[in-house]
Each structure stands twice: as C-alpha cells, then as structure tokens.
Amino acid sequence: MNLTDPVADFLTRIRNSMRSRHQKFDAPASRLKAEIARILKEEGYIANYKATEEEGRKVLRVYLKYGPNNEAVIRDLRRVSRPGCRVYLGRDEIRRVQGGLGISIMTTPKGVMTGRQARREGVGGEVLCEVW
C-alpha cells in the first residue's frame, strides 16, 4: 500500500484505536512518526511506544492511555499541514490549541517539538498536527 500522507495515516490509526478502546496499535515506522509518538508520550497523551520489527518490516507500536473511567486521554487530533497544502508559521504566529488545553506538533530547524517549545526556542516551522 502506497501512502501519500503517512502522518495522516498515523493520526487516523490513533483516532480509530482510541474510539475502539484498543490498548495498543501498530503503524509502519518512520523517524517522523517516532518523533510524534515521543512528543505525545512526553505530553502525557499516550502511555508508551516502541519501535520493533515484524516480518522484516519496521513497526511502531503505540500503547494508548485512558483515564480512570476508561475515557480516552486524546479527545481528538487534527492534521494541519498536508502534502497538498503545507502550513508554516513563524515563531510569533504559533497559537495555543484549544485555549492551551491541547498541543501542536511542529517540525522546526531544531527538530520536532511542540508549538510551546518552538515559541520558547524562538523558531517557527511546519505545523504537522494539533492534539487535544
């Protein structure tokens, strides 16, 4: 299967797995997806992730996180910058997601980071997605 937007596929897998109350899911691994997973873990949106290899293919296994009443920690996620329409923001244009309740994940010259980190570091970049 040839994907034109692997990040959107990754976000859709997270969304679908959360709605189905799965404990974990697998996605084809890439460095960018691993960075997105790292940020989601650091910000407390997923329990854990690990890169493994199954049948010769690199796989990113993501362990989802639920609250005490089995409600999903991630309420929703949205792809912002798409292959057909890239969205770049300067450091002064980075806005808060859901009034500060969510995060935006960006690729910057200093690596993949949250919008908050990018503002602090004084760099802009491409907004990959928003999570809340």
The fold of the 77-131 domain, in CATH, is: Dna Ligase; domain 1 (3.30.1490)
| Among the four given CATH numbers 3.30.70.100, 3.30.1370.30, 3.40.50.300, 3.50.30.30, the one describing domain 6-64 | 3.30.1370.30
Note the pLDDT tens digit of each residue in 79-131: 999 999 999 999 999 999 999 899 999 999 999 999 999 999 999 999 999 99
CA atoms of 33 and 7, how far apart (whole Å): 7
Note the pLDDT tens digit of each residue in 1-45: 567 999 999 999 999 999 999 999 999 999 999 999 999 999 999
36: how many CB neighbours lie within 10 A of its CB? 26
How much is the pLDDT for 3? 74
CA 34: distance to chain centroid?
9
What residues does each domain of the chain span? Answer: 6-64, 77-131
In 3-state terms, what secondary structure has residue 28? strand
Q: Please list, in sequence order, all residues whose beta carbon lies within 8 angstroms of the beta carbon of residue 111, skipping any fewer than 6 positions away.
A: 35
CA atoms of 61 and 117, how far apart (whole Å): 25
**Token pair recorded at residue 119:** 């503002």
